[in-house]
Structure 1
Amino acid sequence: MPVTTQQLIQWKQQGRAIVALTAWDFAIAQLLDLAGVDFILVGDSLSVILGYDTTLPITLDEMIHHAKAVRRGVKNALIVVDLPFLSYQESIGQAMHSAGRVLKETGAQAVKLEGGYPAMVKTITRLVQSGIPVMGHVGLTPQSIHQLGLRQQGKSQEDGERILQEAIALEQAGVFALVLEHIPAELAKHITQQLRIPTIGIGAGSHCDGQVLVTSDVLGLSQRQPPFAKVYTNLRETITEAVANYALEVREGKFPHR
């Protein structure tokens, strides 16, 4: 049965851990769905997959293009799509237009927006009131890389309190779940205990209601791994070896076999 946003909330209440990974194409999305992932994030980390150094260059059209492919590969998992940098920050109207395009053109069930500052809370409130399911995201927000860097957030008491208040404000705005990225485990635990909606951790310790990672990190495809990721297999090595063996056999006349 297809996963819904309400199920994620129910799973928090039941103490059932939520499993999430990223996808940007039909083949990987289909495999993640078959493996039983609860929700798939079409993340703006697509920007890095396309060869950029940060998530900033990716466009809304590119996100929609890849989200369509993911949708075609998925039968059960909930699909959440990141709104990319400057596709929602300018105004509530811009956010409404971007989010509406994502849902109408891709068939995804929800969008994710970064940040919990007052203007973003107002934007998310309006989106939710318009019937658009929204996932929030606080802590390390990669679209703010030039302001925050990639360092862990919420380490001081002041910053931790700010992130907590942002999380509470986003819940009140109507988000159905909240990503907590690269914050101290104790802060993530405290936020998780304070909220009725599920928290999804990425580099935020084991006390969140669920976990999400970038699939290329999990599969060992990334050239550089974040400190909080775990590599479950090394596909860079496997693929390189397989292609090298193929090339060798072609050059030595061993493939195709006569």
Structure 2
Amino acid sequence: MLILGGTREARRLAAVLVDRPGLHVTSSLAGRVRTPSLPPGEVRIGGFGGVDGLAGWLRDKAVDAVVDATHPFAARMSANAAAATARAGVALLVLRRPGWTAGPGDDWRWADTLPEAAALLPSLGERIFLTTGRQDLASFADLDLWFLVRSVDAPEPPAPQRMHVLLDRGPFTVDGERTLLREHRIDVLVTKDSGGDMTAAKLVAARELGIPVVIQSRPPLPAGVTVVPTVAAAADWVVRHP
């Protein structure tokens, strides 16, 4: 089987399945992070060459099942996985952690795209904590605001001119996020609806400090795919798959 990975859920699924008798597990990573956290077992890094390349790879390797456990915003990979598995006649499951839900005291503004998120910022504050990823800064490049940008690797241009870069990898703590927001006098937090608890501490800290949050909504999944929210459910599907 093939796990399309890069997430904590993908690594956990590989760990659950890698030693199971009669099952050969390969995890695939896109290669966008220079020093990725590797799952156990066989790992391949890099793209497949679109739908045709992935469908051919599935046939060549005689893959029986694919679990798409990519990031909730890896829309192109999810679309390619759905198309390629349908073409190759391979079963597909999507493992997708639930998104975040606002609670009492949260001041959240939703945006379908990052340009929409950027358009909201001038009316909300001057100092922005941006956690949307190093490849997504172009939408904010023309804003005359100050940005604290956190990412695993150094961001790529175009990027805001007034910017401080913090290279770090989660999980993060509420105490740490609270301190970070205070030290940098942050007015607004901008993030994506990634879900999970590895990076949710910033949302709690923002709530406690009364800081508004702008969140990009998730892209839709391909039509007709089967989706489960947990590693346990995905492992059960794999085991039960003929």
TM-score when normalising by structure 2: 0.28
TM-score when normalising by structure 1: 0.27
Q: Which has the higher strand share?
A: 2
Q: Which has the higher helix share?
A: 1
Relative contact order, higher structure (CA 8 A, sep 6+): 2
